Structure 1
């Protein structure tokens, strides 16, 4: 069939439509005029876009973050407790050492570390998570993000932190600790200090790892060196600073070796 050149014509995105192929409404009209069924919002293809959006927003907001340390611990820690005061002190000392502080953005230890960093003039970040019981971002956060998906949030913790400091906590804290240990052990991330603060709280766990996992061959002896245990906030920060200094030195030496090898190769090719 030959279409009449006078037939209605519509350009729709990259397509050109004419005659009977032209829809009676525009794309915007179909979007705005009717709500329609909402099941698609909960379908897996749409979830993929939501996940993508969370990654894009997180990467975009945190891309220019200076070097940072994530602090983990229980959301149930009370403000008048010794652990809370320890979290405030660690947050302040991390800022003094030149780090931004990242937490889960909630109450308890998270609030304490954000508070210590904030009140000492540092940059305080909170990466919250949507939960059945609403927590919200605490008042000491300068940059706050609220995530739907745990795995997206955990990626942000690892990508934008140079170390983890872990105070006493529950299942969520253990999850973060063992994920970080696994990533370092398997070489997925490198030069990443993990410091457990609280020998009385964490000592039994480390004893179990040593007595059960190591003695039965489930881990290697050097895997124990991936985790540092202390009660001293100054030592915790020192472990991180010294670890990063060694890492920077190793990087500089590797670059120097690479440059020397390149110069040698250039000289040999010139002969």
Structure 2
């Protein structure tokens, strides 16, 4: 046991032991149930520090399905009314909205990210489909954009148009939702499934209940939204009030979305506080 090599081996075993690891470098320790509050705090703080460092003053959040492809990937999809479109997978029938999301993001990014200004920065879930379209529009404008990706059973890879310094990955949906809204000055929701509906109704609930100031909420794709959610029926049945149906605007084209945002902020500076309490 006095042999120098034996002592070195013993020391090496000690240094390789999980117990000897620094606490913040020990993955097994950090995943303990009673450390969940710490993980939640870190997941809030990491993106927050980066967004501050990058000078992100305000955002426009774009929600929408990951399943809607770019038109060039949906051969023959055309418009929703086309005969050819009827034979395509249903999300492909909405492929024209990929271009609308892309054009909208390009317009907004060009307008508000000139001369170092970082207002109304496009923020998405960072994945494919409509999210990719919005990040792509900002990318083509030479502007920054943000992606809040999340780990899922079927891993969702980030789309390639995100600004690398503003591409984040989350474990907790709750923290991801919080970051969607902390700097949000507008929400633009394209057609989507459970995830899109969940995110949209969370914002509508926060605005309806006064937990966050009102922001423009634009639902893109009139035909989809009028069938997917019968808001007027909810009002007629008394489950929401008549004024709740005025919390959002319907649109079909990028220019209509821009007009809705412009009308809302007419005489109201972009810096108006719209963070949830």
Fold-level match, TM-score > 0.5? yes
Task: Confirm or deny: 8 A CA contact 1:97 1:237 kept in the other structure.
Answer: no
Select which of 34, 40, 51 maps to 2:17: 34
Distance 1:191 1:96, change over 3 A: farther
How far off is 1:116 after superposition? 0.6
Q: CA deviation at 1:88?
A: 1.0
**Match among 54, 63, 76 for residue 72 of structure 1:** 63
Match of 2:99 among 79, 85, 92: 85
Which of residues 33, 36, 45 is equivalent to 1:44? 33
Find the counterpart in structure 2 of residue 177 from structure 1. 200
- Displacement, 1:215? 1.4
SS in 2 for 1:245: coil
Instruction: Note the alpha carbon deviations across 1:194-252, whole angstroms, 9 max, x for none.
Output: 1001011111245x2212x1112111111111011111211211211221234339x7x
Cα offset, 1:38, TM superposition = 7.8
Question: Offset of 1:59 from its aligned partner?
Answer: 1.3
Query: 1:209 — aligned with what?
Result: 231
Pick closer, same or farther for the CA change 1:32–1:84 going to 2, 3 Å.
Answer: farther
Q: Secondary structure at the match of 1:52?
A: helix
- 2:153 is the counterpart of 1:153: no
Q: Per-residue deviation at 1:31?
A: 8.9
CA distance 1:160–1:32, shift in 2 (3 Å): farther
Deviations 1:53-102 (A, max 9, x none): 01111211123203220111000111222121122111112213313100
C-alpha deviation, 1:41, in angstroms: 3.9
C-alpha contact 2:100 2:253 (8 A) present in aligned 1: no
Q: What is aligned with 1:59?
A: 48
1:194 aligns with 2:214: no
Unaligned stretches of 5+ in structure 1?
1-28, 252-271
Residue 269 (structure 2) aligned to one of 233, 248, 251: 248
Structure 2 residues not aligned, in runs of 5+: 1-11, 20-25, 72-94, 113-119, 273-277
CA-to-aligned-CA distance 1:30-55 (integer Å, 9 cap, x gap): 99441259864432221211111011
- In our comparison, the structure showing a higher alpha carbon Rg is 1
The 5 Å alignment of 1:103-118 reads 103-118=124-139
8 Å Cα contact 1:191/1:244 also seen in 2 = no
CA distance in structure 2 between the aligned counterparts of 1:139 and 1:244, rounded to whole angstroms = 31
Aligned-pair RMSD on alpha carbons?
2.2
8 A contact 1:191–1:243 mirrored in 2: no
Give me the TM-score of the superposition, normalised by structure 2.
Answer: 0.74
Q: Structure 1: how far apart are the matches of 2:27 and 2:106?
A: 47
Structure 2 counterpart of 1:261: none
Q: How does the TM-score come out when normalised to structure 1?
A: 0.75
Relative distance call for 1:174 and 1:30 in structure 2 (3 A) is farther
